[in-house]
Structure 1
Amino acid sequence: MTDGDTHDKAETIKDRLLIVDDEVDFLRLLKRSLAKDLDCEVLTASSGESALQMLEEEPVDVVLVDMKMPGMDGLEFLERLRMRHPWVTAIMMTAHGCVELAVQAMRQGAYDFISKPFDHETLVFTLHKALERNRLLRENVRLQRRSRGEGVFQNIVGASPAMRRVFDAVQMVASSDLTVLITGESGTGKDLVAQAIHNLSARSHGPFVAVNCPTVPENILESELFGYKKGAFTHATQNKIGLFQEAHRGTLFLDEIGDISPAIQTKLLRVLQEKAIKPLGDTKTIKVDVRVVASTNRDLQEKIRAGEFREDLYYRLNVVPIEMPPLRRRREDIPLLCDHFLKKHCAELRRPCKTISPELMEIFLRRDWEGNVRELENTVMRGILFAPGEEIRPEHVGFASEHRSCLVFDDGSLQNLPYKEAKEAVLQRFHRLYLENLLAANGGNVTQAAKRCGLERQALQQILRRFGIQAEKFRRPGPKTD
């Protein structure tokens, strides 16, 4: 369950403020004084690490965090907060005279900052504004969820907590003109998220221009992005408008930006800073009104450490990060995705409607899907083409050997059930078998089990409750650590 889900269910729940500071006495004093003036629950954490752990376990609306802390400082905490909980409003506390750090924090997504020592009334006023902002964002998300189709948001299929967080982030950022960096493995649907941001923005009537950076040679990419004047180089027989100009008053999507050369990085940084381009061979700059959305499947911070990507460009692009989860971290979406692909591709390929056999669905649920959603879609398409009847079985998509190794359905009890009932039975068996084995392997430790299976602790607890599985039954003798 996401933070938004919790608040949707109970609008009477008080807002929550989390204060993060390494000075314990200061925390106690601030908690007492703010509890009197703010109609909200006040929580405290004495380090960035403990604050992040707290955020994983319970929803928080506003975070008030000190910039200077041992270990994880305020800026690192802010970066991780925005990656995991983009809907949480952050206010930074800075020492007097640290305006540059405060400005950097604002660029990285902080809502506001306040200097120490601060006036109590000013602090209360700032927090009131932040809490009100978060209520408006939450209400907007709630209304958007009501209007969504069943498991489909802007052509993106998913109902898992991981995908709901993505949908929430898209909805929140779409109304702004902030630059967005979408990260995730190949095949996770980063291009669909970029299109959704454009469709929901005020620029939706303008052009959406996409360029796959690695597919364009470096010597051509510059002229493609910025254009050129006649005579700028050999064979430049006429003026050419670049993609930035084509995307004027719209959105430019730079797909797989982690693969561009250092020379292009430098010129792109200049465009993002100055909001203007200079075509090759031209002496004048041209102002452009473009919202940039970029994506990458690379670890850009690792590339920065290796000297392969400019750090200043990274922070220009990473104003709002959105992380696309791999399919193995959202397995509960696989049946929904299969239904979607069956409807879509049976119609496109002019084939009768088909279904996924229970045996094949169980294999789908167990696979790691290195190619993610794209690989699943290609597999379903292959099944539509090669299955002679209405049902797609493991052998129709080359998974016969995996079927023989599967023990979940050896009893043949699902063969005579209708498709929907069989699919539900498959899911029930999968969840129970998977979760019980997971808990047994981790001695009933929910936190450890969540890390191992790639879910958040709160999400795993929700699934365990849904299927009536008690972690205590799997705990080994010894002191409790969970």
Structure 2
Amino acid sequence: MLGNKVSTAAASTAGIAGPVFDDPVSRRLSAEIERVAGASVHVLVLGETGVGKELVARQIHQLSARRQRPFIAVNCAALSENLFESELFGHEKGAFTGALSATTGWFEAADGGTLFLDEIGELAPAMQAKLLRVIQQREVTRVGARVSRPIDVRLVTATNVDLAKAITAGRFREDLYYRIKVATLKVPPLRDRPGDILALARHFVGLHGPGAAIAFSPEAEAALLDHDWPGNIRELENVVQAALVGHRGGRIEQADLSLGVRDDGGAAPERAAPGGLQQVLDDLLARETADLFNAVQKQLVLRALDHAGGNQVHAAAFLGITRNVLRTLMQRYDLLPGGKRG
């Protein structure tokens, strides 16, 4: 089955039970989520990469009447066209070479609950047509089967793609668009909800820290608030994890934060340049950080997977290694599906 973001466990985007709603902008989003959750309609969640769209989907599920039933998350960008039907709709034994037993698809697995299709804007047109039919008919036919199976699934989809432009360009079906956007939620980028930044940072310290109380210095807090967060919540989590590797003395200082630096004109922060990375590594080596190699290598794998949206082939390409080598590293650091992220 899928080798990417599919689970009924905690959200892989950030690992929190629910979104953090400290900022007034986020509180308004929270009210919208609560309103939408009570109506059993399909929901389209829009937002930049890393803003926490899956967390919003999980919150919708938890606040709905379906909360006792499964929540299944699928990364559409990781679905190949050849395996699309088998993954989503299931297959019967002998349906194709390698089908040694009957397998339940993700629609059936989510029956009675919620199916979250992330990055739906990445689906190929042929896959969109097959998905549309299932939504319309409310039934699935396993590959190799002759009988359809009724399903009762609430669909929550998400994308960072402008679907209106994709429709105009012929890349996305208009009829599917109107099927999935009965209700729409827009998740603001982290830079537009600064009141969440420190609350999220403290949460990630608790999530990934050693257990002992670790605080941010005033200078570190100011740096977090000043950063523009182009990678949103996902970037913030990674920054905190990296800071936990290098900090000393029970407090995270500004120097522990691997952030881009603003220029004198106050422009948006730049991505860390190789020289900046060298400085970070020099600092870590100077501190004689325990097990530094494995800690840095694990973070590098995590960052590549995040940037690739969980797609192992793309993540391996980012790192300049083969997928087999990447999977070996993922196994070493317990990052394979079903394992822990971080």
TM-score of the two chains, using structure 2 as the length reference: 0.69
1:411-457: CA deviation from partner (whole Å, max 9, x where unpaired): xxxxxxxxxxxxxxxxxxxxxxxxxxxxxxxxxxxxxxxxxxxxxxx
1:236-277: CA deviation from partner (whole Å, max 9, x where unpaired): 232221111111111111111111111110011111111111
Distance 1:154 1:168, change over 3 A: farther
Amino acid of the structure 1 residue aligned with 2:136: Q
2:36 to 173, 180, 186: 173
| Residue of structure 2 equivalent to 1:163 | 26
Q: Is the 8 A contact 1:209 1:251 kept in 2?
A: yes
Partner Cα distance (2:95, 2:84) in 1: 15
| Residue of structure 1 equivalent to 2:64 | 201
Say yes or no: does 1:230 pair with 2:93.
yes
Say yes or no: does 1:305 pair with 2:168.
yes
Q: Is the 8 A contact 1:363 1:403 kept in 2?
A: no
Distance 1:335 1:261, change over 3 A: same
Please identify which structure carries the higher helix content.
1
Matches within 5 A, 1:362-373: 362-373=222-233
Q: Is the 8 A contact 1:351 1:384 kept in 2?
A: no
Partner Cα distance (1:399, 1:286) in 2: 51
Say yes or no: does 1:379 pair with 2:239.
yes
| Residue of structure 2 equivalent to 1:246 | 109
Amino acid of the structure 2 residue aligned with 1:386: G
| Residue of structure 1 equivalent to 2:9 | none
Say yes or no: does 1:221 pair with 2:84.
yes
Matched pairs, number: 251
Partner Cα distance (2:149, 2:181) in 1: 25
Percent identity reads: 44
| Residue of structure 1 equivalent to 2:143 | 280
Q: For 2:83, what is the secondary structure of its paired residue?
A: helix
| Residue of structure 2 equivalent to 1:335 | 198
Q: For 2:82, what is the secondary structure of its paired residue?
A: helix
Partner Cα distance (2:162, 2:262) in 1: 32
Q: For 1:210, what is the secondary structure of its paired residue?
A: strand
Q: For 1:235, what is the secondary structure of its paired residue?
A: coil
- Unaligned 5+ residue runs, structure 2? 1-15, 267-342
Matches within 5 A, 1:65-76: none
1:376-419: CA deviation from partner (whole Å, max 9, x where unpaired): 1111121122111222122222349669999xxxxxxxxxxxxx
Q: Is the 8 A contact 2:191 2:229 kept in 1?
A: yes
Q: Is the 8 A contact 1:363 1:402 kept in 2?
A: no
Distance 1:400 1:208, change over 3 A: closer
Deviation at 1:200, TM superposition (A): 1.3
Amino acid of the structure 2 residue aligned with 1:397: L
Q: Is the 8 A contact 1:360 1:403 kept in 2?
A: no
Amino acid of the structure 2 residue aligned with 1:290: V
Distance 1:401 1:320, change over 3 A: closer
Q: Is the 8 A contact 1:394 1:403 kept in 2?
A: no
1:102-131: CA deviation from partner (whole Å, max 9, x where unpaired): xxxxxxxxxxxxxxxxxxxxxxxxxxxxxx
TM-score of the two chains, using structure 1 as the length reference: 0.50
| Residue of structure 2 equivalent to 1:294 | 157
Partner Cα distance (1:338, 1:236) in 2: 45
Deviation at 1:340, TM superposition (A): 1.9
| Residue of structure 2 equivalent to 1:131 | none
Partner Cα distance (1:156, 1:373) in 2: 10
Amino acid of the structure 2 residue aligned with 1:360: A
Distance 1:400 1:268, change over 3 A: closer
Amino acid of the structure 2 residue aligned with 1:307: G
Amino acid of the structure 1 residue aligned with 2:212: P
Amino acid of the structure 1 residue aligned with 2:220: L
Q: For 2:45, what is the secondary structure of its paired residue?
A: strand
Distance 1:384 1:404, change over 3 A: farther
Partner Cα distance (1:344, 1:258) in 2: 31
Partner Cα distance (1:171, 1:366) in 2: 31
| Residue of structure 1 equivalent to 2:45 | 182
Deviation at 1:219, TM superposition (A): 1.0
1:147-190: CA deviation from partner (whole Å, max 9, x where unpaired): xxxxxx95211222221121111111112210001110111111
| Residue of structure 1 equivalent to 2:220 | 360
